[in-house]
Chain A
Amino acid sequence: MFARRFLISFPIFSFVYIMQESVVSQFKIFGGGFSLFLIFALLWSALGNPEMGALTGFGAGLMMDLSQTASGPMGQWTLIMILAGFTISYLGYGDDNFRGNPISLVFTVAAGVAITRLIYLILGLFLGSEMGSAWSVIASLFSSAFWSVAVVPLLMPIVTRLHEALFDVKSRI
């Protein structure tokens, strides 16, 4: 069951990944812009159960690790995305007040994006990556959260419809 769901999600994630790497990366947006793929993966995870969230995070993290711009070792994004996917789906699983409220979903995903990137940075420091100035990191985290708040409402109707169509689960908001 999990494998089937995982496999049918793969072409969608591949499409978003290609969009991120080839189209979104062309835009030099204020504050460093946003990661469409990261937002999409967290939003997708938030609509599923925790196991599916972890599996989604695993697949998405693997793809992010394959990106040539990933600064850390292969597996760093995978590890963080597993935890992020699991956590974000665990927060809302079985809670209709959370799932049924688009505003809470928007802010949870936006916070999730910033926290995920922060944890990536911290783990990267442990693995020997460089951080840069504290100001640029803080500005980057805040701007990614800001852009996520702007992008999630645009993505949400598409993602919820796709999720519903594929998994036959009433997750539309």
Chain B
Amino acid sequence: MRSGGDNRGRLLLISLIVTSLFLITLDLRGVQVITGLRNGSQSALSPVQSVAATVFRPVGNFFSDVTHLGRTRGEINKLKAANEKLRQALINRKNADAELTQLKSVLDLAGTAKYKVVSAKVISLGSTSSFTQTITIDAGTNDGVRQNMTVITGLGLVGVVKISYPSSALVQLTTDPAFRVGARVAGSQQIGILSGQGTRKAVLQLLDNQTTLKVGDVILARGSQNNRPFVPGVPIGEVTTVDNAAGAVTQTADVKLYVNFAALSVVSVVIGAPKADPRDALVPKAPVPTPVPTVTVYAQPSESPTP
């Protein structure tokens, strides 16, 4: 190991450190050149990312499927068991027609809320080194996507557009530790703040200490002024555990997010929302199985019995 650096090396090291500190200062003071540099690099990279997404995404999905094989199998078994229970219950029910009518009334999420959306493909899954949870989509300012717009899938809230470039946009996911959204409990209308935790589980903190949460409560986005960054009524997740710690000022709860962030491929950016708040209209309906018709056969004696 070397005993020490020479003066030239020290001078170089100090110069480089000072330069980096200078850059940090400039950026924190909001100098536009720095922002322009990042925008420029992203504009140059997004076509390459689009091509790479087309070529390598199937390979990436394969690896993702392989790593989730055990979990998928467990989920299939659980679903099979649930399906059997549902099938049994369904056979015993006499009002299957009424349930069929309900099944037909299930509408698409965006269609129900009358959101004006732009669909986009996910072209990059974000950084692996910066502790952030982001995705890049292939729609940008050219498609009407602007900063602070809500991003959804059919299951619910994905995140919010953090930066918009001409042909791509960076979306901060709901799982990002820096993500915060005003939330509302469907039904009881209690309000709180939901924050990302870096995993598929988020934490909800209620604002009112007089109200209570219970497991299974559905959490929706409360909406922002002029619908930016969040449109109201988008499903976020479901309460899984409630923290009733004595001495806590307000109640907190763990919320399992509806969206599977590991399998995002197409998302929609809400570029226009209706004036009316959809309230609880987007709360996901409980799954209803398809009824299985039963056939009853009556045995009839034949007219000419055989000897």
Contacts and interface: CB of A to CB of B under 8 A. Distances in A.
Contacts of B16: 54-55, 57-58, 82
Interface residues of A, number: 64
A132 B196 contact: yes
B198 A132 contact: yes
B299 interface: no
Main secondary structure of the interface of B (DSSP, over half): helix
Contacts of A28: 60, 63-64, 125, 262
A71 B24 contact: no
A91 B2 CA distance: 8
B130 A72 contact: yes
> Which applies to chain A's interface (DSSP): helix, strand, loop or mixed?
helix
Contacts of B64: 27-28
Interface stretch (B45-53, B99-107, B109-117): B45-53
A110 to B, nearest CB: 14
Interface stretch (A62-70, A100-108, A156-164, A165-173): A62-70
B197 A91 contact: no
A131 B12 contact: no
B127 A131 contact: no
| Residue from the set A33, A68, A69, A76 with the largest chain B CB neighbour count within 10 Å | A68
Interface in B1-53: 1-2, 5, 8-9, 12-13, 16-17, 19-28, 34, 37-38, 41-42, 45, 48-49, 51-53
22 contacts: A21-B49, A21-B124, A27-B63, A29-B63, A32-B128, A50-B9, A65-B23, A71-B127, A71-B130, A71-B131, A75-B20, A78-B20, A82-B17, A82-B20, A117-B129, A117-B131, A120-B131, A132-B176, A132-B196, A133-B177, A133-B198, A136-B198
